Amino acid sequence: MSDAHAHQDWRAWFAENGARLKLIARQWTRSDADADDVVQEAFVRFWKHQRHMPGNPNALVVTSIRRAALDLLRRSDRRTAREKAVAADTETVGWFEPESDPRLQSLAESLELLPAEQREVVVLKIWGELTFDEIGEQLAISPNTAASRWRYAMESLRKLITARTYE
């Protein structure tokens, strides 16, 4: 098989994209540490088996992340309820670097409060750099549904930011 990205420096690629990949992984994981594990596993899997494939590697990496995250969730489901509760209680790591601008900080915190189905569409569109068609494929929903969730998410974010501004 010919290597479509033979001259690609994958370390540099990961250094540039690792943060947004982790944010994507964070949508389908229960903790920051799990997101790290998923990103690592997914990227290694992609690098070993799919890096030679032509086209933009981004969608392949996102698919690999989702698959690794779902695998981890299935494995985690076997843990006891107590372990899950402890993991949830101890999760305090934010998804974004702290912002000096309070409006941006509020936006970052508001994003985490969105319903999961809206939030994952936003994250896949902004940081996954996917189209609604590609988001639909990832989440097994129609592109129209993806676009609809995006609109609801924008509306919810505006309301959340406004509410926080007047708190």
- Interface residues with other proteins (CB under 8 A) are 10-11, 14-15, 18-23, 32-33, 35-36, 39-40, 43-44, 47, 93-97, 99, 103-104, 107-108, 111, 122, 126-127, 154, 157-158
CB of residue 83 vs other proteins: minimum separation in angstroms?
21
Cβ–Cβ < 8 Å for 161, 113: no
CB of residue 157 vs other proteins: minimum separation in angstroms?
6
CB of residue 89 vs other proteins: minimum separation in angstroms?
20
CB of residue 96 vs other proteins: minimum separation in angstroms?
5
**Separation of alpha carbons 36 and 131, rounded Å:** 25
Could you tell me the CA-to-CA distances from 111 to 16, 36, 48, 64, 89 in Å, in that order? Answer: 23, 20, 33, 24, 20
Q: Which is nearer to other proteins, 85 or 113 (CB)?
A: 113
Q: Which residues contact 41 (CB under 8 A, 6 or more apart)?
A: 68, 72
Q: Which is nearer to other proteins, 4 or 104 (CB)?
A: 104
Cβ–Cβ < 8 Å for 80, 21: no
Tokens of 112: 């985490």
Q: Which is nearer to other proteins, 11 or 74 (CB)?
A: 11
